[in-house]
Amino acid sequence: MSEIIKTDSMQQTSENLSEELFVKLSRLVWQYRKAFNDSNDGFDLSPNELGLMMIMYQDPTINTANQIVKELGTTKGLASRNVDSLVKKGLIKTEQDEKDRRVVRLTLCTRAKELCEEARVRQQEFYHKAMKGICEREARQALDVVEKMVSNIL
């Protein structure tokens, strides 16, 4: 039997509350993706290409296609196509690893870093807007809840 949860505006079952939470989270993710894609305007990059560059920009230790695949949760084929496209656009360079010639290291070029910085500023504006009126305690509680949800499904 569903537990009844009392809220300020109405009574909800825990099932309904769970569904509403996921709907709101989905809406937030959709708005984030839209803002992220909008931040790509003028860059002539696919969302996947920009995402790949942002991963490398935010953590320079991620510098191989395999690491990018793990970080983005994408396929090797898609990562390879994105890397090839970014190389052709002059945004990343590839270089064989000196110790293991099977490994290809990826490096962001100067223009890619500039584009990532512009995208990062736009992301920060989105985060600031989304977090308006939310105190640090509330943000930490929300983060704890989402982390528990992720660990429950992994």
Q: What is the pLDDT of residue 40?
A: 67
CA–CA dist 33, 24 (Å, integer): 14
Q: What is the pLDDT of residue 151?
A: 92
Q: Is the pLDDT of residue 83 over 80?
A: yes
Q: How is residue 62 annotated by DSSP?
A: -
Q: Is the pLDDT of residue 63 over 60?
A: yes
The helix-helix angle for 47-58 and 14-38 (nearest 10°) equals 90
Q: Is the pLDDT of residue 136 over 80?
A: yes
Mean pLDDT estimate for the chain: 87
pLDDT band at 36 (very low <50, low <70, confident <90, very high): confident
